[in-house]
Amino acid sequence: MGTYLVRRFLQLAVVILLATMVIYALLNAVPGGPLSGVRQELINTRGATGANVASDMARLQRDFDLDLPVWQSYLRWLIGWPKLADRPNRGGILFGDLGDSWQVARGQSVASLIQSRLGNTLLLMTSATLLSLLVAIPIGINAAVRQYSAFDYLATTGAFFGTAMPVFWFGMMMIMIFAYYFKQLGWFYLPTGNAVALRPYDVPFLGTVLPETILDRGLHLVLPTIVLSLLYMAAWSRYTRTSMLEVLRQDYVRTARAKGLVERLVISKHALRNALIPLVTIIALQIPGLFGGAILTETVFNWPGMGRLYISGLNAGDWPLVMSLLFITAVLTVVSNLLADVMYTFVDPRIRLS
Amino acid sequence: MATYSATAEELLTTKQESQLHVIWRRFRRHKMAVLGLVIILSLILMGAFSSYLTPYERDEPTADINLSPSGLHWLGTDELGRDMFTRIAFAARISLTVGFAVTFLTTLIGMTIGSVSGYFGGWVDNLAMRLVDFMLTIPSLPLLLVMSKILSSGGFIIQFPESVLRFFGWIMAVSDIKSIQQVLYIILILALLGWTSEARLIRGVILSLREQTFTEASRALGVSHTRIITRHMIPNALAPLIVASTLSVGGVIVVEAALSFLGFGIQPPIPTWGNLLQNAQNDLWLYPWKALYPGLFIFLTSLSFNFLGDGLRDALDPRLKI
C-alpha cells in the first residue's frame, strides 16, 4: 500500500505538471498571442495608428508577462519564479495564487470571483447528485432483481432516452412547460433564471414569495436539479443494475439462498451491500463536477455558478480566469481518480493495491 | 426416382445463407433499431433534398417574423422571418456531415493507435495508453470550448486543400469558404479529442487475438506485421468497431449541437440544430415553440443512432450482448 501510494503520488505530480503545460500552451502559444483579440478591438475603436494603441498593448503584454521568454512566463505563472525586480511578484498557481481577473470583473482576484459562484454550484450539484442517487439506486436494484420484467424494460428504455437526450434542450422544454405555460394557465409554476428572484412574485398555493428566502431559493433550484439529474440517473441506474446482476450470480448469494434465507434478506443483506461498492467510484469521480459545475445546465437556467463563470471568462477572453478554472478542474479530476482507487480498497478488502 | 432423392437432399441440408443475410435477419428482429435506421435514412434524404422541400430561401430575411407553425410555414419562422423547416432541413446536412466525418476520423485514428499499441506492446503500448489516460483526465467540454475559441479567434489558420473545401462545401450546401473552414475546425477538434475510446476498444481485441494460433501461424509463414494487422486482426475487430462507431455518430451530433448552442461552434447564418436552439433560447419567453423543433431533431437523431447501434450489436455479435 505504501509503495503503491508513493508511486501514484509521483504519477499524479507528473500528470498535473503535464496538464499545466497543456493549459498554458493552449492559451498562450496561440499565434498572435492571447491578446490578439484585444489588439483588434483597440484598433477598431481608435484606428490603426490611433492614440496609444502600441503603448497600451505593450503595457498589457507586460502585465501578463507575455514579453518574457515562454519558459520564464510559464514558470512565473506556475510557481512564481524567477522573481524579477521590475515586475510585481507572483505567488504561482501551484501555491494558490490564481491571479486577477481582467475582463469579467476587472481588478477582482480570481479567487474571490470563484468564491462568489462556488456556493450556487455546490448547491445545484449536491442536490442533483443526491436526487439521482436516491432515484437511480432503487431503480437499478429493482431492475436487476426482476431482470427481464416489465419494470426492467421500462427502466432500460428510460435510461436509453435519458442518455440520448441533449440536456440543454430538455432544460428548455422544462422551462417552457413548467415555467412558461403553467404560469400562463395560472397553475402552480416554477420560477427560473438566476438562483434567486429580484422582486416578490406570486405563486398559486404558496402566495407571495419574497426574494432570497429559503422558499425562493428552493423553487429556483427544482428545475435545474431535475434536468441535471436526468443524465446521472440514466447512467447510474444502468451501472447499479449491472453491478447488482454481477453480485446476484456469485456463490455466496446462492449459499445464502440455499441455507433458506428469505429472498428479501438475501437481497438487502448479502447482495445490496456488495453491489453498492462500485458506486464509491461514481461518488468520488463526481468531485470535479461539484466544483466545475454543469456548463450546459447552468447556461440554460442562467444559474450563476462555476460553469457560467467559465463560459463568460471564455467569451470575454479573461485568460487568468479560464486558466485557473481549467487548472483546478484538472487537479481535482486527477486527485479524485486516486481517491476513488484508494477508497475502493477500504470498502472492498478483497482488492489489494500493488 | 431421381427427383425424389433430390427433394430429400434439399429437405435434409439447410439452405446456405450468406453472412449478410444472417445479420439482416437478426437485425430485423430488433424493431427499434429498424425504426432508427428508417429515421436516419429519412434525415439523410431530408438533408439531401433540403432545397427542393420548401419554396423558401434558407438565409433570405422576410417580413413574416416569428410566425407560429401553420400550413404555410410548417414549423413557423424565426426572428428574421426565415422558414424554420427549411433551416432545420439544411442543418441536417451539417449535423450529419459533422457526425459522420468525426466518427470516420476517430475510428481511423483509434484503429491505428489501438492496433499498433496492442500488437507491439512494450513501450509503444505504454506510451499510447498513458496518453489515453492523460486525455481522459482532462475535462472534455471545457477543453473543447477553449480549442474552439482559439481556432475561431482567427489566430490559427490551417490551410485545407482546395478539393477538401470544395467537397465539404458541396455536401453541406455552403459556399462561403470561411464557414466551411469553421465546420472543418470543429470536425478536427472533435476528432482530436474523441479517438481514445476506439483506441482502447481495438487494443483490447488485438491483445486477445495476438496470442491465438492463427496469428502465430501467420507469423511463422513470414507474413509482415502490417499484413497481419490489416488482414487478420482488424477484420476480427470489425463487429465491436461498427457498433462503437454507430453509437459515436449520435454522441458527436449532440456534442456539436452543444458547442453551437453555447456559441462556440458553427456560427449563423449557417444553420445548425445547436445554433438554432441558441436563437430560440433568447426568445423563450415570447415564442417558446421555436425551441421545440431543432432540439427534437437532435434528440431524435441521437436516439436513432443509439437504437441502431444497439440493434447492430445484437445482429453482428450475439456474444456482445450483456
pLDDT above 70 for A139: yes
| Residue B206 maps to a domain | yes
Q: How far is CA A65 from the centre of its chain?
A: 30
- Set out the domains of chain A in order of their start, with CATH numbers: 2-108 (no CATH), 111-347 (1.10.3720.10)
**% chain A with pLDDT above 90:** 41
Which of B39, B133, B146, B152 to mutate to probe the A interface, most A CBs <10 Å?
B146
**Which A positions 161-190 lie with beta carbon below 8 A of chain B?**
161, 163-166, 168-170, 172-173, 175-176, 180-181
Distance set, CA B223 to CA B206, B226, B230 (Å): 17, 8, 11
**Mean pLDDT of the A305-320 span:** 90
Nearest neighbour of B288 by CB, restricted to A168, A180, A326:
A180
* Residue B9 included in any domain: no
CA dihedral B280, B283, B286, B292 (to 10 degrees): 10
Write down the pLDDT at residue B321: 47
A315 at the B interface (CB within 8 A)? yes
Domain that holds residue B140: 19-315
Chain A positions touching B145 (Cβ under 8 A) are 295, 310-311, 314
Helix (H) / strand (E) element for A203: namely strand A201-203
What's the rounded mean pLDDT across residues A197-214? Answer: 85
Measure B232 CA to nearest chain A CA, in Å: 33
B31 vs A: CB within 8 A: no
Report yes or no: B190 and B98 within 8 Å, Cβ to Cβ: yes
Question: pLDDT digit string (tens) for B247-296?
Answer: 999 999 999 999 999 999 888 888 899 989 988 888 888 888 788 999 99
Of B273, B231, B236, B243, the C-alpha closest to B256 is B273
Instruction: Report the sign of the C-alpha dihedral through residues B298, B301, B305, B307, in that order.
Output: positive
**Chain B residues inside the 8 Å CB shell of A194:** none
Closest CA to B253 of B54, B44, B78, B109: B44
Residues ≥6 apart with Cβ < 8 Å to B171 = B93, B97
- Structure-block grid coordinates of residue B118: 496492442
Contact B96, B210 (CB under 8 A): no
Pick the more confident residue, B103 or B122.
Answer: B103
Q: Which of B139, B288, B295 is opposite residue A166, by nearest beta carbon?
A: B295
**Which among B4, B12, B23, B6 is positioned nearest to B316, based on CA atoms?**
B23
The stretch B142-168 carries a mean pLDDT of 82
Q: Is residue B1 part of a domain?
A: no
d(CA A191, CA A182): 10
pLDDT per position as a tens digit, A39-94 = 777 777 777 676 677 888 888 888 888 888 888 889 998 998 888 888 888 888 88
Is residue B252 within 8 angstroms of chain A, CB to CB? no
Half-sphere exposure of A80 (CA within 13 A, CB side): 12
Residue B34 sits at the chain A interface (C-beta within 8 Å): no
Q: Find cell 427481464 and name the residue.
A: A148
Is the pLDDT score of A128 beyond 90?
yes
B281 — contact with chain A (CB < 8 Å)?
yes
The answer to whether residues B297 and B40 touch, using CB atoms and an 8 Å cutoff, is no
Which long-range contacts link A340-347 to residues 24+ away (Cβ below 8 Å)? A340/A280, A340/A281, A340/A284, A340/A285, A341/A8, A342/A5, A343/A280, A343/A284, A344/A277, A344/A280, A344/A281, A345/A1, A347/A277, A347/A280
CA closest to A180 among chain B residues: B285
Residues 6+ apart with CB under 8 A from A168: A296, A297, A299, A300, B257, B258, B261, B277, B295
Q: Do the chains contact at A32 and B155, CB–CB below 8 Å?
A: yes
Q: In terms of pLDDT, which residue wins out, B261 or A346? A: B261
Q: What is the number of CB-based contacts under 8 A between chain A and chain B?
A: 116
The mean pLDDT value for A290-315 works out to 91
* B291 at A interface, C-beta within 8 A: yes
Cα separation, A272 vs A335, whole angstroms: 28
B55 touches chain A (CB under 8 A): no
Contact B187, B101 (CB under 8 A): yes
* CB atoms A296 and B257 under 8 Å: no
For residue A91, give how far its alpha carbon lies from the nearest alpha carbon of chain B (Å). 24
Which residue out of A43, A165, A168, A333 would a mutagenesis test of the B interface target, given it has the greatest number of B Cβ atoms within 10 Å?
A168
Model ipTM over 0.90: no
Which residues of chain A make contact with B306, given a CB cutoff of 8 A? Answer: 160, 163-164
| Residues of B with Cβ-Cβ distance to A333 under 8 angstroms | 137-139
| B150 touches A at CB < 8 Å | yes
Residue A353, pLDDT > 80, answer no
Cα B27 to Cα B244: distance, rounded to the nearest angstrom: 16
Measured CA to CA in angstroms, residue A158 lies from A124, A168, A207 at distances of 23, 18, 35
Q: Per-residue pLDDT for B163 more than 60?
A: yes
Asked if residue B131 is part of any domain, the answer here is yes
Distance CA B12, CA A72 (A): 82
A169/B295 touch (CB, cutoff 8 Å), yes or no: yes
Chain B residues with CB under 8 Å of A288 CB are: 139
Kindly report the nearest CA distance between residue A306 and chain B, in angstroms. Answer: 12
Nearest to B144 by CA among B266, B265, B273, B248: B265
> Distance between CA B322 and CA B314 in Å, rounded?
10
CATH number for the domain harbouring residue B59: 1.10.3720.10
CA dist A309 and B117 (Å) reads 40
Q: Does residue A140 register a pLDDT over 90?
A: yes
Closest by CA to B250, choosing from B93, B96, B88, is: B96
A302 shares contact with chain B (CB less than 8 Å): no
- Please tell me the total count of domains within chain B: 1
Band of the pLDDT at B14, cuts 50, 70, 90?
Answer: low
Instruction: Report yes or no: A9 at the B interface, CB cutoff 8 Å.
Output: no
Check residue A29 and give its pLDDT: 63
Confidence band (pLDDT; 50, 70, 90) for A141? very high
Cβ contacts of A161 on chain B, cutoff 8 Å = 303
pTM value? 0.88
Hey, is the C-beta of A21 within 8 angstroms of any chain B C-beta? no
Confidence of residue B322 (pLDDT cuts 50, 70, 90): very low
Cβ–Cβ < 8 Å for A152, A183: no
Give the closest residue to B201 by CA, choosing from B289, B261, B111, B280: B111
Per residue in B41-92, pLDDT tens?
999 999 888 888 887 877 777 777 887 888 777 778 887 778 888 889 999 9
Q: Is residue B321 part of a domain?
A: no
Q: In degrees rounded to 5, what are phi and psi of residue A207?
A: 75, -150
Q: What share of chain A is helix, strand, coil (3-state, %, to 5)?
A: 70, 0, 30
Contact B18, B50 (CB under 8 A): no
Asked whether the beta carbons of A137 and A275 are under 8 A apart, the reply is: no
Three-state secondary structure call for residue A201: strand
Q: Would you call A19 an interface residue with chain B, using a CB distance cutoff of 8 Å?
A: yes
How many Å from the N-terminal Cα to the C-terminal Cα in chain A?
A: 6
Is position B2 within any domain?
A: no
Q: How far is A196 from chain B, CA to nearest CA, in Å?
A: 18
What pLDDT score was predicted for residue B45?
94
Average pLDDT of span A254-268: 91
B150, A160: Cβ pair inside 8 Å?
no
